[in-house]
């Protein structure tokens, strides 16, 4: 049985610059190669900054994936989402697993895109 999982990527870098389509397309291709397909939609995410409590709104891409439950596939999804977050210089990434559990893995600050190649 397949279940839906999701991860979310921003449309802009932290400095406000638009993320080039080729960087998003890399994630799209990786997900399709691993799971056979993906649906990507534009949305808005809202979150509260811990330092000053200000609510921040940002435009995002949601990546919805049909995948079987199981630890191996969950780890593959988390790895792909984390790899994308590193590529986009993000601090963390939102991931919803097929069973509904939400995790927000933090990306190590010293990680760079070259570290995740191939």
The answer to whether the CB of 31 falls within 8 A of the CB of 82 is no
CATH of 2-116, one of 3.40.50.2300, 3.30.70.120, 1.10.1760.20, 3.20.20.140: 3.30.70.120
Residue extents of the structural domains in the chain? 2-116
* pLDDT of residue 62 exceeding 70: yes
**CB-facing half-sphere around the CA of 97: CA atoms within 13 A:** 16
Quick one: pLDDT band at residue 115, thresholds 50, 70, 90? very low
The DSSP bridge partners found for residue 8 are 62, 94
Q: The tokens of 53 are what? A: 């409590």
* pLDDT of residue 118 exceeding 50: no
Tens-place pLDDT, residues 14-39:
899 999 999 999 999 999 999 999 99
* Residue whose tokens read 């780890």: 75
% residues pLDDT > 90 (the chain): 81
User: 40 CB contacts (<8 Å, ≥6 apart)?
Assistant: 24, 28, 61, 62, 63, 64
Tens-place pLDDT, residues 45-58:
998 988 999 999 99
Residue 107: what pLDDT?
Answer: 86
- The residue among 40, 39, 55 whose CA lies nearest residue 2 is 39
Edge-first strand order for the sheet with 2-10 is 39-48, 55-68, 2-10, 94-96, 102-103
Task: Collapse the DSSP code of 86 into the 3-class scheme (helix H, G, I; strand E, B; otherwise coil) and give the result.
Answer: helix
């Amino acid at each position: 049985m397949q279940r839906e999982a999701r991860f979310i990527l921003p449309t802009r870098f932290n400095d406000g610059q638009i993320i080039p389509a080729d960087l998003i397309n890399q994630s799209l291709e990786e997900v399709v190669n691993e799971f056979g397909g993906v649906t990507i939609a534009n949305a808005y995410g809202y979150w509260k900054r811990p330092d000053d409590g200000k609510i921040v709104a940002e435009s995002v891409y949601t990546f919805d994936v049909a995948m079987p439950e199981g630890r191996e596939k969950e780890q593959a999804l988390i790895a792909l989402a984390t790899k994308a977050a590193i590529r986009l210089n993000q601090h963390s990434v939102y991931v919803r697993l097929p069973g509904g559990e939400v995790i927000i893995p933090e990306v190590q600050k010293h990680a760079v895109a070259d570290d995740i190649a191939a």
